[in-house]
Amino acid sequence: MTAADHAAPVSPALSTAARRFLQPARFGVISCLNADGSPLQAVIWYVLEGDVVVFNSRIGRRWPTNIGRDHRVSLTVADGYEYVEMGGEVEIDENPRRGQAVIASLTRRYEADKETADAQIAGFAKQSRVTFTLRPTRIFERLSGK
């Protein structure tokens, strides 16, 4: 056996076209598994940070509870017939300060009106939040390359 036989699996890299596609504030659809094995999907806000995708939710919702039980997810971001699908296991961060910082940043990313964003952030401040980081182990893209 060589040292390469013991190397950790390398995550695939996002193409330049995929990075360009994921940069705008598009909506993602996260897929996870319910306790009975049936699929569940939810629309989410996300941000691409280098090679990872970060997203966040209120603790207690079904999809974050599902991910807490089984860290495997699939995330699709689409615009018409163009899309990027990524899958893998997420890292979970329940740090309340990070959760609030991430949701505030996501709110400012998705809500252009500052007054509306500030009101939403004030509402989120009353919630317990959890942050997820997806380091994709598989990526599929259907992009025109525009």
Give me the CATH number covering residue 72. 2.30.110.10
Q: Do residues 135 and 91 make contact, with C-beta atoms less than 8 angstroms apart?
A: yes
Distance CA 144, CA 146 (A): 6
Does 25 map to a domain?
yes
Distance CA 2, CA 19 (A): 34
Does 77 map to a domain?
yes
Q: What is the DSSP letter of 103?
A: H
pLDDT score of 71:
97
pLDDT score of 146:
57
pLDDT score of 3:
45
Find the distance separating the first CA and the last CA of the chain, reported in whole Å: 45
Range of the domain at 65: 10-142
Q: How many domains does the chain have?
A: 1
Does 1 map to a domain?
no
Distance CA 77, CA 133 (A): 15
pLDDT mean values, one per 10 residues, the chain (146 residues): 47 89 97 97 97 96 97 97 96 97 98 96 97 96 82
The model carries a pTM of 0.89
Does 3 map to a domain?
no
